[in-house]
Amino acid sequence: MLKSALAQRLRPNFDDDRDADTFLLRLERYGADLVESLEAVYGDQTNVLLDELFEVMIHAFHARPDDLKRLDEARLLRPDWLQQPDMIGYVAYADRFAGNLKGVAQKVDYLQGLGVKYLHLMPLLNPRPGENDGGYAVQDYRAVRSDLGSMDDLSLLARDLRGRGISLVLDLVLNHVAQEHEWAARARAGEEKYRRYFHIFPDRAAPDRLERTLPEIFPDFAPGNFTWNEEAGGWVWTTFNAYQWDLNWANPDVFREFLEIILYLANRGVEVFRLDAIAFIWKRLGTDCQNQPEVHQITRALRSCLRIVSPGVAFKAEAIVAPGDLIHYLGTRDHHGKVSDMAYHNSLMVQLWSTLASRQTRLFEEALKAFAPKPTNTTWGMYVRCHDDIGWAISDEDAARAGLSGPTHRHFLSDFYSGEFPGSFARGLVFQFNPETGDRRISGSAASLAGLEAAETPEQVNDAVQRLLLLHTVTLGFGGVPLLYMGDELAVFNDYSFAQTPEHAADNRWVHRPQMNWEVAGAVQANADTPAGRVNAGLRHLIRVRQSTPHLHASIESQVIPSPDRRLLLLLRGHPLGTLLQVYNFSEEPVPVPGHLLRRHLGDTADERLSGFQYDLTPAELTLPPYGRWWLTTP
């Protein structure tokens, strides 16, 4: 319970008793989580920090627009809003999608036509000039990139989206700021307060000790983790690039600064924050400085503050880590369901492409079984492709259980998707080859990686179309928020023109970051007989089926059923309305499915939701066509 002395001290900050009651009731509900996490991280500095945080939170509460306060109340009544089957996400760069924020507002009808209710606009907060890691080197968190518009334009777009039932999602880079950020500039100028915002070392002694256990994120163009800065007179921790200065989250001032930023942007209409590089924010000698326990305490404390001021806002963890580490970003034990509301299921994406190349699902099964059950109030973000490269995050342990060698299989996948493997259908590019580890990541659009770019015969075209629809069907059916990456709904190929843009030429991830061609988009929608038109029409149909399938509520998880055939993947979802059994064929061959296996879960008949047919399951075998997919439910 909230101590009455604290309530009496805070109540005079409110002119309206109802506002005071609202704030204090939420504080009573989430205050214990906030204090516990702050004490775990900041110890005896907590009381002073709390006083500063209450001032920030009360100011943001008063400044929150009335329509957003109404959204907060609606979300409190429907806390599973991110888990609904009709929640479809779309991810795009604002400039490449529609020129600027006003242009995006003019394309909302297109998004609604796809069924989108969640729009993630890639980094648009003001970055440093020139090279900026695709916008992830932020110079000013309270300003929009000038060519995209203004912060007022962002607020207007958010309001328009909200009025049409679409939530605005923005990136919040937590691990670092651009070296041009005011904090870094003042640190270089010698202000001790701001030097403590960063990790700055006078010599190489500490960096050399730390480097012994630190990985390199971009070994090709940003080797090492520390950069000498003459003006600062020291070695600055720079995990990603020399111009991105890592923040010192052990300093409570950094926590307070980011809470102000988050609440400011929430009051501008941001409904979901993608917590970029969240895994890296806490540093500890002798570790890889990822996934440290303090990361989750800090996230829970920030989330608690949000629940008090703006409970209609959610966190999504951008943590591309092993399953055993990933579950902590959603919460375990006393943090269960109290950290991030959503996390990327990177493993699902990796296994989709791995299985498409190998035509064998055993590794997929083993990888999914390695995941601990997530909290029922959280959700996964699933995707076929995204703005980033594909790193082959396949553990040696999962591979061994599937009878494979992890290094050998990762090598095979890099060969396959770069087009080097004999018979490969893929057209991808190798990104960040690390000669020490042999690691090779892959860039490329979904259509090019799935074989549509290389297809020459009608049979090859059909196989590529079916592969793409298979990938999307698994993503839409797994249970969570499926995230469509801009252009995938149009089956766009690699855009090799990126090499002609100087600031992009050294980073081949731009091969799958094309400009949206609206003439092509119109033509694709108008002609369902072309390969791209078939993908588009098929995807739109899949989305409609998903939205009418309550079994896909994300509070329920997909369970792996051991497959009777190495080419099949079976996922089972139990729901109060009945069972949903998904069956997927990851090969270009028809595969028999034992009738007794289907009857065990569904009975003698089942409704196949994707086709609308009712299946008789009494025969000894049913045949799933090449790259076929079934969503079978009990009648």
User: Could you give the residue numbers annotated as active site?
Assistant: 276, 318
Name 559's Cβ contacts closer than 8 Å, sequence gap at least 6.
571, 572, 573, 574
Report how far apart, in Å, the C-alpha atoms of 463 and of each of 293, 386, 455, 487, 532 are.
45, 22, 9, 19, 13
- Give the count of beta carbons closer than 10 Å to the beta carbon of residue 567: 20
d(CA 331, CA 210): 28
Strands (E), 486-567: 559-561
- Helix ranges restricted to H, 312-384: 323-326, 346-358, 362-369
Helix (H) or strand (E) segment spanning residue 19: helix 17-42
Report how far apart, in Å, the C-alpha atoms of 39 and of each of 44, 93, 175, 193, 475 are.
7, 39, 21, 22, 39
Report how far apart, in Å, the C-alpha atoms of 244 and of each of 64, 287, 480, 494 are.
31, 21, 32, 28
Which SS3 state, helix, strand or coil, does residue 117 take?
coil
DSSP class of residue 341 equals S
d(CA 201, CA 186): 16
For residue 57, give both structure tokens. Answer: 């939170």
d(CA 76, CA 25): 13
Residue matched to tokens 């070695």: 235
d(CA 536, CA 526): 10
- Give the count of beta carbons closer than 10 Å to the beta carbon of residue 145: 21
Helix (H) or strand (E) segment spanning residue 154: helix 151-163
Residue matched to tokens 């440093």: 128
d(CA 547, CA 553): 10
Strands (E), 489-552: none
Q: Is the dihedral of CA 390, 391, 397, 399 positive or negative?
A: positive
Name 286's Cβ contacts closer than 8 Å, sequence gap at least 6.
213
d(CA 353, CA 391): 11
Amino acid at residue number 290: Q
Do residues 336 and 99 touch, judged by C-beta distance below 8 A? Answer: no
Torsion angles phi and psi, residue 240, rounded to 5 = -100, -55
Helix (H) or strand (E) segment spanning residue 259: helix 252-267
Do residues 438 and 411 touch, judged by C-beta distance below 8 A? Answer: yes
d(CA 448, CA 450): 5
Which SS3 state, helix, strand or coil, does residue 24 take?
helix
Axis crossing angle, helix 66-77 with helix 151-163, rounded to the nearest 10: 40
Do residues 210 and 246 touch, judged by C-beta distance below 8 A? Answer: no
Question: Long-range contact list for 23-27, CB < 8 A, 24+ apart?
Answer: 23/57, 23/58, 23/61, 23/308, 23/309, 26/307, 26/308, 26/309, 26/311, 27/2, 27/308
Amino acid at residue number 265: L
